[in-house]
Amino acid sequence: MAEWTMQEALNAALADCLADDDRTLILGEDVGRNGGVFRVTAGLQERFGEQRVFDTPLAEAGILGTAVGLCMHGFRPIAEMQFDGFTFPAFNQLAAHVSKLRTRSGGALNLPLTLRVPSYGAIRSPEHHSESIETFCAHLPSIKVVSPSTPSEAYALLRAAVADPDPVVFLEPKSRYWSREERVAGDDLVGAGARQSGADADAERGDGYASRIVRSGSDVTLIAWGACVQRCVQAAAFAAEDGVEVEVLDLRWLKPLDVDGLVASVARTRRAVVVHEAPVTLGLGAEVAALLGERLFGTLAAPVGRVGAPDMPYPVAALEDEYLPSPDRILLAIQRTFDAVAA
Amino acid sequence: MIAASIPVIAARSAPGAQSGDAAGPPVLLVHGFGSDHASTWASSGWTAALDAAGRRWIAVDLPGHGTAARPTDPAAYALEELVAGLAAVAREEGPVDLVGYSLGGELALRLAGAQPGLARRVVAGGIGSHPPPELGAVAGIPLDAALLACAEGVQQSPRDPAALTAFSGRTLLFAGTEDPIADGLDVLADAMEDAEVVWLGRRHHRSTLSASTLKRRAIAFLAEG
Amino acid sequence: MASHTFTLPDLGEGLVEATVLEWLVAVGDGVERNAPLVEVETTKASTELPSPAGGTVLELHAAEGETVAVGAPLFTLEIAAESGIVGTVPAEAPPTRRVRLRPPAAR
Amino acid sequence: MSTIESPPVTATSELLSLYAQMRRTRALNDEAIALQRQGALTGFPPCTGQEAAQVGSAAALDPAVDFAFPTYRELGAMLTLGITPLALMAPHRGLSFGGAFDAREAHVAPINAVVGGTALHAVGWAMGAKLDGEEACALTYFGDGASSQGEVHEAMNFAAIFELPVVFLCQSNGWAISTPTERQVGGGSVAARAAGYGLPGEQVDGNDVLAVRDATARAVHRARCGGGATVIEAFTYRLGPHSTSDDPSRYRDRAEEEAWESRDPIDRAREQLRGSLDDAEDHFARIEHEITLELDAVRAGLGLLQAPTMREQMELAYARMPAATRAANAAWLQDGIDG
């Protein structure tokens, strides 16, 4: 069966979005003829024309603000921020308008825009190219945030994000752009219309914002998203060598959080560790730990662990590997949940 | 000497690209009748090959060609005037390795023969032992007053065959096997003290210069210790 | 990996075709952008064409001696998918471990 | 908005030193590209073709008095302002972000990749200089790409309102990665926008090192004497790729590049010098020799550049690190040791 990379899966999803709905369009820096600095929009301008896929001047506030205006005129724009570290000029648009406009307009104005952001680190690039911005975005009302971990997930979740009537920030794990995966035949999503495997699986549980169990286990639940899911899978394989069965839960949606999915898993394992690249202080792990503490206080055998970065800016490339959550750091956090003595 | 007979330096290699004096003297590139430095030496890949080999080069436009002056008096194009003009450039830049094609090849040999001190080595092609054909009649080249004067000036110059083969230094002669102008090139080589010949298969007068085997062979020849 | 077919470029002066004199690369060779690629002959003169991009030669669409029209396919390059992409593709190095888990007796 | 012809040629020795600095920039630039290809550098954003706009403008500053705000492509400007080659190579070895030099001492802000924002830093610094009554000027570099950022417009407006000693030096180099200037700059000219803020704006041939130097010198002088800010738009061309991981053949053709290659600012200066200096070749040889020595030193020194330890990098985060943060960092570091 053919394989595809996450970059190819995202490209296919964007092509299908443009083909299925002529109100969708793609805007951003170098997304047209150049096909994007990670080639995610390669070939789309050629196929759909410059009215539907076009380059913008180098101004992130301009890009997101224009996308808001396009929504107000009935379009469904997919805007690209070239890098995570370049999104901050657009945060005024995100916080002051994208997060408030529907309420401000009494429900009259929907903003079905999608903001794609190549995210996280591990590609040895210069400053401002390895940031994790999920917490800043998830903290804003009316904005949904999602981050895929595999090519097929990327296809399904991007289709879901574009189809969503509310604004969605779509965080793409750039270190996984070149990761390959078999395109499961039965689940061949390319050209299968708007069917999104993620949404289907969740049909029977919840409204399409469900997490997924990557690996089931009984002793502890590792919670992650995007690039860190693979790190948790590696840690789980090591844990198995020590006779510990680790469950790996891929959150997918960071806003809204799949509380039911989280509670269902941790109720069984009674231990949990959240893993992300961002600094631990006020990282999304804090929100997950608080939720689980509120819902499972009596069941938890230990405080929820959090593995993330120290309180310092993302470091130079030479220190990247030491900074990012290694399997060993994850195993140490798991061991702490074993060593914790309930009061 | 007629000022208008001095060729113009039309292009040079970028400084610093060369690996210093060890790479040998600058190569003076002399194009042929009806052409210019760019179409003879740039589009054929010669200047890129010289750059890659770390050799400094200078490309001239002969009077009546490219960016040079365009006198219409045939006397300005007499062979000895053109040779004297080329010598002035070589003296300024020299000593040089001379690389010439067609008319440029003849000028290179005559200059080296007349003033050996200015030339270390010579690479000349697209010539033969007989005087070049009716230059004006060479197909495909639009002839203006200057080129007509040039053809006439060269044609009427006294042609001392010995002057063509006087150079005693290392010489590499070349031509395409299908190039009638190159008849007798071997005879020319035999008449010279230290010359060898390279024949390029399947090539005629206007498809010889870009042959990659020629460039490799010529650059190696110029780099010999 | 993405393959891209390049056509015979416009040679100027109204020329409509050219004959391949000599390929300076072979199938499988790596070629840098602007490096010598092929020698072609037109009615005007023979010229050496540089490669418009870097990559690995997949296919040569004209044999030596064959005439090609301007705009017709000339050669195909395999361009590394990662080439021209910001940052370095992370190597899929196998992870290592030092920490050993000691699960509690009663779980 | 005036277009000033290039001024009468100043002393040839000045042109010779500007030429030397441009050749030095080009040589280090080409060496960095080669080093990246050999895997010795992670990546590098070439400034090929923009040497005159950078060296000419930087030469008009007095680093002891003024302050320069570069982006990530200002190799030529930073070398001219006295930053060492190795300090400028450190970021491309993944060892530093801003460059291994003391910004306060050098009067040069660290290298920065989020373009546009530093224009406001120049405004702030200039406001400080004005408040302190210094005869000094801030010069901020940005390109046609960054001219679209809101912060650049805000900076020009602030500089106008507060009459600040700032030179906005735009290198309009034709491309922001794959976006050509005509798809970036509404109205076609950044200098023309200056009038909107009540500032003088000037276009200059960015490949004429003397013209750039003189235009910048006039603006710096005007700023130092309380005449306020100036916008200079230097037209030049990004001959190389955006960075070593960019492939320009995807979005522009060789013909355009070749046209600009024939207007190389270094060739122009060299021919001018050949016209006015009879021993030009000797000078050129000396300059190339010095460059060769410097490149040898860079290659040798590159390997000696040390990566900071994680602990050192952590310390940089705070001038006075809170105890709680220090404790948390220590625990985190310990995990790295155990794990």
- Backbone dihedral region of A245: left (phi > 0), alpha (psi from -120 to 50 degrees) or beta? beta
Is D251 in Cβ contact with A62 (below 8 Å)? no
Query: Any idea how long chain B is?
Result: 225
| Residues from chain D contacting residue C50 (CB–CB below 8 Å) | 254
Counting residues of chain C whose pLDDT is more than 90, the rounded percentage is: 36
| Residues from chain C contacting residue A125 (CB–CB below 8 Å) | 86-88
Assign B142 a pLDDT band (cuts: 50, 70, 90).
Answer: confident
Nearest partner of D45 among D68, D70, D63, judged by Cα:
D70
Interface test with D, best of C4, C7, C33, C48 (most D CBs within 10 A): C33
Q: Would the pLDDT of D303 be above 70?
A: yes
Which ipTM value was assigned to this complex?
A: 0.66
* Structure confidence at residue D11 (pLDDT): 74
Q: Would the pLDDT of C81 be above 60?
A: no
CATH number at residue C11: 2.40.50.100
Calculate the dihedral angle through the C-alpha atoms of B105, B106, B107, B112, rounding to the nearest 10 degrees: 90
Q: Is residue C87 part of a domain?
A: no
Q: Would the pLDDT of B21 be above 70?
A: no
Most confident of B90-104, B141-155, D76-90: D76-90
DSSP state of D240: S
Q: Cβ distance D91 to D41 under 8 Å? A: no
Distance CA(D117)–CA(B10), nearest Å, equals 45
B:D CB pairs within 8 Å: 13
Higher-confidence residue of D130 and D339: namely D130
Q: Cβ distance D302 to D90 under 8 Å? A: no
Task: Encode A51-80: b = buried (16+ Cβ within 10 Å), e = exposed.
Answer: ebbbbbbbbbbbbbbbbbebbeeebbbbbb
| Residues from chain D contacting residue C98 (CB–CB below 8 Å) | 338-339
Q: Is residue C50 part of a domain?
A: yes
B179 DSSP β-pair partners: none
DSSP state of A120: -
Assign C80 a pLDDT band (cuts: 50, 70, 90).
Answer: low
C:D CB pairs within 8 Å: 29
* Structure confidence at residue D1 (pLDDT): 39
Residue C55: both structure tokens together: 């990559």
Is D23 in Cβ contact with B15 (below 8 Å)? yes
- Active-site residue numbers of A? 129
Q: Cβ distance A336 to A305 under 8 Å? A: yes
Question: Could you list the residue range(s) of the whole structural domain that residue A32 is in?
Answer: 3-182
Assign C82 a pLDDT band (cuts: 50, 70, 90).
Answer: low
DSSP state of A96: I
List D251, D254, D318, D326, catalytic entry = D251
Task: Convert the pLDDT of each residue in C25-42 to its tens digit.
Answer: 999 988 877 788 999 998
Residue type, A287: E
Residue B164: both structure tokens together: 């063509």
| Residues from chain B contacting residue C41 (CB–CB below 8 Å) | 206-207
Q: Is residue C100 part of a domain?
A: no
Verify whether residue D251 is a known catalytic residue. Answer: yes
* Structure confidence at residue A147 (pLDDT): 98
β-strand pairing of C30-31 with D175-176: unpaired
Distance CA(D125)–CA(D65), nearest Å, equals 12
Q: Is residue C84 part of a domain?
A: no
A220/A290 same-domain check: yes
Is B16 in Cβ contact with D23 (below 8 Å)? yes
Q: Would the pLDDT of C79 be above 90?
A: no
* Structure confidence at residue D296 (pLDDT): 92
* Structure confidence at residue A193 (pLDDT): 32
Q: Would the pLDDT of A76 be above 60?
A: yes
Q: Would the pLDDT of B96 be above 60?
A: yes
A244/A139 same-domain check: no
Alpha helices in chain A (DSSP H): 6-20, 44-48, 60-72, 91-92, 101-104, 134-138, 151-163, 197-203, 228-241, 259-269, 284-295, 320-323, 327-339
A213/A260 same-domain check: yes
Q: Is residue A17 part of a domain?
A: yes
Task: Convert the pLDDT of each residue in A316-338 to its tens digit.
Answer: 999 999 999 999 999 999 999 99
Is C39 in Cβ contact with B210 (below 8 Å)? yes
Assign C1 a pLDDT band (cuts: 50, 70, 90).
Answer: low
Is C103 in Cβ contact with A338 (below 8 Å)? yes
Query: Any idea how long chain C is?
Result: 107
* Structure confidence at residue B39 (pLDDT): 87
Is A310 in Cβ contact with D332 (below 8 Å)? yes
Q: Is B195 on the interface with C (CB under 8 A)?
A: no
A216/A290 same-domain check: yes
Is A61 in Cβ contact with D176 (below 8 Å)? no
- Weakest mean pLDDT among A197-206, D55-64, D213-222: A197-206
Is D250 in Cβ contact with A35 (below 8 Å)? yes
Q: How far is C95 from chain B (nearest CA, A)?
A: 44
Counting residues of chain A whose pLDDT is more than 70, the rounded percentage is: 92
Domain count of the fold of chain A: 2
Q: How far is D322 from chain C (nearest CA, A)?
A: 30
The stretch A260-282 carries a mean pLDDT of: 97
Dmax (CA) of chain A: 64
How high does pLDDT run on average in chain A?
Answer: 92
Interface test with D, best of B12, B13, B56 (most D CBs within 10 A): B12
The stretch C44-61 carries a mean pLDDT of: 87
A211/A142 same-domain check: no
Question: Could you list the residue range(s) of the whole structural domain that residue C34 is in?
Answer: 2-79
Q: Is residue C62 part of a domain?
A: yes
Secondary structure (3-state) at A12: helix
* Structure confidence at residue A194 (pLDDT): 35
Interface test with D, best of C5, C86, C97, C102 (most D CBs within 10 A): C86
Across the interface, which of A281, A316, A331 has its CB nearest the CB of D94? A316
Q: Would the pLDDT of A206 be above 80?
A: no
Q: What residue of D is the nearest CA neighbor of C96?
A: D339
Is A327 in Cβ contact with C97 (below 8 Å)? yes
Residue indicated by tokens 């307009």 = A105
Is B39 in Cβ contact with C48 (below 8 Å)? no
Q: Is D221 on the interface with C (CB under 8 A)?
A: no
Q: Cβ distance D213 to D57 under 8 Å? A: yes
Task: Convert the pLDDT of each residue in B39-86 to its tens digit.
Answer: 899 989 999 899 888 888 999 999 999 989 899 999 999 999 999 999
Distance CA(C50)–CA(C39), nearest Å, equals 9
Across the interface, which of C36, C41, C50 has its CB nearest the CB of B207? C41
Is the backbone peptide bond immediately before A256 cis, with ω within 30 degrees of 0?
Answer: yes
Is C103 in Cβ contact with A122 (below 8 Å)? no
Distance CA(D336)–CA(D330), nearest Å, equals 10
Across the interface, which of C92, C101, C107 has its CB nearest the CB of A331? C101
Nearest partner of C97 among D144, A237, B132, judged by Cα:
A237
* Structure confidence at residue A195 (pLDDT): 41
CB neighbour list of residue D102: distance below 8 Å, 6 or more residues apart: none
The stretch D301-329 carries a mean pLDDT of: 91
Q: Cβ distance A25 to A78 under 8 Å? A: yes
The stretch D237-265 carries a mean pLDDT of: 90
Nearest partner of B103 among B73, B82, B74, judged by Cα:
B82
| Residues from chain A contacting residue D317 (CB–CB below 8 Å) | 311-313
Q: Would the pLDDT of A305 be above 50?
A: yes
Domain count of the fold of chain C: 1
Nearest partner of D220 among D232, D211, D210, judged by Cα:
D232
Higher-confidence residue of D150 and A189: namely D150
- Backbone dihedral region of A258: left (phi > 0), alpha (psi from -120 to 50 degrees) or beta? beta
Q: What burial class does residue D105 get, using C-beta atoms within 10 Å of its C-beta: 0-12 exposed, 13-18 middle, 19+ buried? A: exposed
Q: Is A38 on the interface with C (CB under 8 A)?
A: yes
Q: Would the pLDDT of A18 be above 70?
A: yes
Neighbours of chain A (3+ CB pairs under 8 A): C, D
Distance CA(D301)–CA(C28), nearest Å, equals 37
Q: How far is A260 from chain D (nearest CA, A)?
A: 31
Task: Convert the pLDDT of each residue in D265-282 to its tens digit.
Answer: 999 999 999 899 989 989
Q: What are the C-alpha distances in Å from D85 to residues D26, D76, D96?
A: 12, 10, 14
Q: Is C63 on the interface with A (CB under 8 A)?
A: no
The stretch B193-221 carries a mean pLDDT of: 92
A96/A41 same-domain check: yes
Neighbours of chain B (3+ CB pairs under 8 A): C, D
| Residues from chain C contacting residue A172 (CB–CB below 8 Å) | none
CB neighbour list of residue D266: distance below 8 Å, 6 or more residues apart: B14, D19, D22, D23, D26, D51, D52
The radius of gyration of chain D from alpha carbons, rounded to an integer in Å, stands at 21
Q: Cβ distance A291 to D310 under 8 Å? A: no
A314/A245 same-domain check: yes
Neighbours of chain D (3+ CB pairs under 8 A): A, B, C
Distance CA(A192)–CA(A269), nearest Å, equals 37
- CATH superfamily placement of domain B3-223: Alpha/Beta hydrolase fold, catalytic domain (3.40.50.1820)
| Residues from chain C contacting residue B208 (CB–CB below 8 Å) | 46
* Structure confidence at residue A190 (pLDDT): 41
Residue A139: both structure tokens together: 């903290």
Please name the helix (run of DSSP H) or strand (run of DSSP E) that holds residue D125, with its range, or none. helix D117-131
Higher-confidence residue of B138 and A185: namely B138
Q: Would the pLDDT of D3 be above 50?
A: no
Q: Would the pLDDT of D178 be above 50?
A: yes
CATH number at residue A120: 3.40.50.970
Higher-confidence residue of D261 and A282: namely A282
Decide: B and A in contact? Rule: 3+ Cβ pairs under 8 Å: no
Q: Cβ distance B67 to B8 under 8 Å? A: yes
* Structure confidence at residue C84 (pLDDT): 64
DSSP state of B184: T
Secondary structure (3-state) at B109: helix
Strand arrangement, sheet containing D201-205: D2-3, D201-205, D230-235, D166-172, D138-143, D67-69
φ, ψ at B111 (rounded to 5°): -65, -50
Secondary structure (3-state) at A28: strand
A135/A265 same-domain check: no
| Residues from chain D contacting residue A315 (CB–CB below 8 Å) | 310, 313
Q: What residue of A is the nearest CA neighbor of C106?
A: A338
* Structure confidence at residue B102 (pLDDT): 93
* E-only strand ranges, chain D: 2-3, 67-69, 138-143, 166-172, 175-176, 179-180, 201-205, 230-235
Residue indicated by tokens 């792990």 = A285
Q: How far is C19 from chain D (nearest CA, A)?
A: 22
Q: Cβ distance D142 to D168 under 8 Å? A: yes
Residue indicated by tokens 């002057």 = B163
Q: What burial class does residue D260 get, using C-beta atoms within 10 Å of its C-beta: 0-12 exposed, 13-18 middle, 19+ buried? A: middle
- Domains of chain D, each with CATH number or no CATH: 12-307 (3.40.50.970), 310-339 (no CATH)
Residue D337: both structure tokens together: 């040791």
| Residues from chain D contacting residue B16 (CB–CB below 8 Å) | 23, 26-27, 288, 291
Is D113 in Cβ contact with A329 (below 8 Å)? no
